[in-house]
Amino acid sequence: EVQLVESGGDLVQPGRSLRLSCTVSGLNFGDNAMSWVRQAPGKGLEWVGFIRSRSYGGTVEYAASVKDRFTISRDDSKNIVYLQMNSLKSEDTAVYYCTRRDANNYDRFDYWGQGTLVTVSS
């Protein structure tokens, strides 16, 4: 069974940093691209970014709203993908979901974690 478990969500002040983790089991993590999607309270879904697998260079792509503030990385030895969030703003308040990006099937996001809540407030 494939499982994605996010952790690290918290209440944080504006301007501070936070790192989220997503631990993956049940699939060959190193062969997969991983993505982050967020959802502000009562709002729709917003793609944050993704990281390609090592075989595709491990390169990353970001939404404009988080570029230069957020960094996605991965540790293939631990099956974990990270989202480092710096210079947090109130508008970053959201549930953050980790997803698998299936590059072999229309880049679908087929597996999702349960989400972790980040609240940015003073």
Residues in contact with other proteins by the rule CB under 8 A: 35, 37, 44-47, 50, 61, 63-64, 97, 105-110, 112-115
For the bound state, the minimum distance from the C-beta of residue 21 to other proteins, rounded and expressed in Å, comes to 16
User: Which of 65/86 has CB closer to other proteins?
Assistant: 65
- Which secondary structure element, helix H or strand E, spans residue 47, and what is its range? strand 45-51
CA distance 84 to 105: 28
Contact between residue 20 and residue 83 where contact means Cβ atoms under 8 Å apart: yes
For the bound state, the minimum distance from the C-beta of residue 16 to other proteins, rounded and expressed in Å, comes to 26
For the bound state, the minimum distance from the C-beta of residue 22 to other proteins, rounded and expressed in Å, comes to 12
**In the chain, where does DSSP find H-type helix?**
none
